[in-house]
Structure 1
Amino acid sequence: MTVVFVTGGSGFVGGRLISRLLKDGHAVRGLARGDTSAARIEALGATPVRGHLGDVAALRTAMAGSELVFHAAARTTRGGDRDRFWADNVEGTANVLRAAREAGVRRLVHVGTEAALMDGRPLVGVDETAPLRPDSRAHYAASKAAAEQLVREAAEPETVVLRPRLVWGAGDTTVLPELVAMVRAGRFAWIEGGLHRTDTTHVDNAVEGLLLAASRGRPGQAYFVTDGRPTVFRDFVTELLGTRGLTVPERSLPLWAATALASAGEAVWRGLRLRGVPPLDLMSVWLAGMECTIDIGKAAAELGYRPVRTRAEGMAELRAQYR
């Protein structure tokens, strides 16, 4: 039995990861910032440990005796202040690495993202040789790129990065709920008709990749995982919303118009220091309006990765959950 520590265990990917680790017989501790996250981690069957990404001492104490750490915690909200993204995603990751080193952790697996490569251009058939973009105009993309650089350059503990793309499935707390909210509020619109291709990663496939990265990944390396085959973005989103009984509106914006609206909105929010986030942001435009197709050959060859859940199975589970 391995003792495993998980950050972000109260979230979507982290929660599903904890369930799988427990099922496989590991002892799991999860970082809990407050009562709500502690209750969620405890309900899964793991041991919540109070602390946050800004407290190295608490992280070190929480990791004591752990052989393996999964770092799934990150700021993923739309838009927002750059300093907050940097504090959570970059400085927080640096703190997790330091605590893991001081606690004697053998290996750390970092949950990365294809967004770390995004700079406003499509990603077509990309693999792990594509450069990270810490200079990206989107704060989430830039901060995740900078965080990954820290992880891959760390000498101790051994580190591996696992990059899923557009994680979805039952229990999703971001993608599907936000799409549902936009449709119901009358704010949904396709970009260029949504006819571009995209890769996706069911949460069970993401977790499978994380476990393989922990056992087989080469130190300092990154690995992409997906559902195995790209699909048309419009088809995927239409079926996803259909699991909630929703029909998707036909309204569409040109990519240039969506980009201009997002850039203008972000500028106004920054200039006036407005609370919340603008109606449209660059990261959302890039995620929803540009092709993103990924080559997972490296994960297949080095990790033995194969998707364990098909899109059809994942959609069926969502429909059953809704009913």
Structure 2
Amino acid sequence: MKVFVTGASGFIGSALVSELSNAGHHIVGLARSEESAKKIKSLGTNVEILPGDLKDLAILRKGAREAEGIAHLGFVHDFQNFNECCEIDRAATEAMLEAIVGTNKPFVYTTGTLSLPAGKISDETVENYEHSYFLRDHTEKMALSYGVKGVRVTSIRLSPTVHGKGDKGFIPWIIADANRTGKSGYVGSGQNVWPAVARLDAAHLYRLVLEKGRPGGIYHGVAEQGVKSKEIAEAIGVILHLPTVSISTENAAEHFGFLGVFFSKDNPVSSEITREELGWEPQGLGLVDDIRKNYSL
């Protein structure tokens, strides 16, 4: 299959390019710079580059039209202008989908689990569109609506931490907060949980969904249903040789910045349907072990 991958030079996207290449697929990677293009080209022998970025809708349409499948992982990670980033994502998603109406091509959208209802286990059947403030949830709904227009749309909801060497996401930011303050913190009792998945396991899931995902299917990139935030903080404390402490809800923003809202959320998520339907069997390290092994400075 010729697969157009946005976010191909990113942490998960680069792993997906290698995963697809090793499985015999041909990859077209969207690259916003020469540096990104070189990185993507180095990931496999059957890889080509499409120069452009997520704001270049004409390029996105071209990539989608000329491919046999699309994996949309690209996202502008600017949390100071998060709503604008979500609007860019929505426009990019819609442009690619409009370009492949009536083709029955597979299109894999990407969102996250953190916006799912807190405090109870959410499986792949749970929808939170009516109550969600998270624009990507509504973009997921929009994307899935293209099923009736002849596009084989699926969505992968990723854990808040996709972990491994080279991670630039939430865990490194939490580590930076610990270094800055001299203590590794968790909010309140620290009994709230985050789901987690290793980078290579996430990439493997994308390939499986591209190859055999059910039209309209929602899949969870979750290897561990819930890791307590206190356990995450303790692992960080160990590698940094810092004390692990509880941070009150009132002081969470001071310690964690915008991350305080996310790190305090209770987000238990199941991937049982995903595993049963696709035969996905995560093989990577658990989050706590990965932090201890691969996140020390």
Structure 2-normalised TM-score?
A: 0.85
Shift of 1:100: 3.8
Distance 2:206 2:244 in 1: 37
Shift of 1:67: 1.1
Aligned to 2:170: 175
Distance 2:223 2:270 in 1: 11
Residues 146-155 or 48-57, more deviating:
48-57
Tell me which amino acid in the other structure corresponds to 2:30.
Answer: L
Q: CA distance change for structure 1 residues 33 and 196 in 2, over 3 Å: closer, same or farther?
A: same
Aligned to 2:185: 189
What does residue range 92-107 of structure 1 map to in structure 2 within 5 Å?
92-101=92-101, 104=103, 106-107=105-106
Aligned to 2:54: 53
Aligned to 1:110: 109
Helix, strand or coil for the counterpart of 2:108?
strand
Matched, 1:163 2:157: yes
Matched, 1:319 2:273: no
Shift of 1:241: 6.3
Distance 2:138 2:76 in 1: 13
* Preserved CA contact (<8 Å) 1:54 1:95: no
* Preserved CA contact (<8 Å) 2:124 2:274: no
Count how many residue pairs are aligned between Structure 1 and Structure 2.
Answer: 291
Shift of 1:159: 0.6
What does residue range 107-146 of structure 1 map to in structure 2 within 5 Å?
107-117=106-116, 122-133=118-129, 136-137=132-133, 142-146=134-138
Distance 1:92 1:65 in 2: 16
Residues 86-95 or 67-76, more deviating:
86-95
Helix, strand or coil for the counterpart of 2:220?
strand
Shift of 1:13: 0.9
Residues 184-193 or 286-295, more deviating:
184-193
Helix, strand or coil for the counterpart of 2:8?
coil
Tell me which amino acid in the other structure corresponds to 1:30.
Answer: G
Distance 1:314 1:178 in 2: 18
Shift of 1:94: 1.3
Distance 1:311 1:70 in 2: 25
Matched, 1:250 2:244: yes
Shift of 1:312: 7.4
Shift of 1:250: 2.9
What does residue range 258-273 of structure 1 map to in structure 2 within 5 Å?
258=251, 261=253
Q: Map Cα deviations across residues 48-69 of structure 1 (whole Å, 9 max, x no partner).
A: 2111223232123233432111
Helix, strand or coil for the counterpart of 1:230?
strand
Percent identity between the aligned chains?
Answer: 22
Tell me which amino acid in the other structure corresponds to 1:111.
Answer: T
Q: Map Cα deviations across residues 90-131 of structure 1 (whole Å, 9 max, x no partner).
A: 2222122223448x571111122113426xxx2421112322
Return 5+ residue gaps in structure 1 as ranges.
263-277
Matched, 1:151 2:143: yes
Aligned to 1:280: 257
Helix, strand or coil for the counterpart of 2:27?
strand
* Preserved CA contact (<8 Å) 2:61 2:95: no
* Preserved CA contact (<8 Å) 1:8 1:14: yes
* Preserved CA contact (<8 Å) 2:65 2:99: no
Helix, strand or coil for the counterpart of 2:79?
coil
Aligned to 1:274: none
Distance 1:193 1:252 in 2: 7
Aligned to 2:42: 43
Aligned to 1:295: 270
Shift of 1:193: 4.0
Query: Aligned to 2:202, which of 183, 203, 206?
Result: 206
* Preserved CA contact (<8 Å) 2:197 2:287: no
Q: CA distance change for structure 1 residues 30 and 168 in 2, over 3 Å: closer, same or farther?
A: same
Aligned to 2:235: 239
Helix, strand or coil for the counterpart of 1:189?
strand
Helix, strand or coil for the counterpart of 1:132?
coil
Tell me which amino acid in the other structure corresponds to 1:129.
Answer: T
Aligned to 1:80: 81
Matched, 1:17 2:11: no
